Homo-oligomer: A and B are copies of this chain.
């Protein structure tokens, strides 16, 4: 889903379009899934183009990006 045209209309820096996930690395987040089930809460430990590794109180959980609806930072 690469949309070159959209990028053109954004104020371009040398880094290209803004990247939101790298800024959340190490932060505690709530991840809501497209399935509408129980959200995943924990710290973002790592990520690649397809998956995000979350450190939860019950251990690490690998979350597929295609299954994520929203991510928000939490201080709780």
Chain A: residues with CB nearer than 8 A to chain B? 1-10, 15-22, 24, 32-37, 40, 46-51, 53, 58-73
In the complex, what residues of B have CB within 8 A of residue A34's CB?
Answer: 33-35, 66-67, 69
Q: How far is the CA of A10 from the CA of B8 in the complex (A)?
A: 19
How many copies the complex holds: the figure is 6
Show 12 residue pairs from A and B whose CB-CB distance is below 8 angstroms, ordered by the A residue: A1-B66, A5-B17, A9-B15, A18-B48, A20-B48, A33-B35, A33-B69, A34-B35, A36-B37, A58-B72, A59-B72, A64-B65
Closest Cβ of chain B to A44, distance in Å, is 11
Given contacts A69-B37, A72-B59, is CB(A51)–CB(B20) below 8 Å? Answer: yes
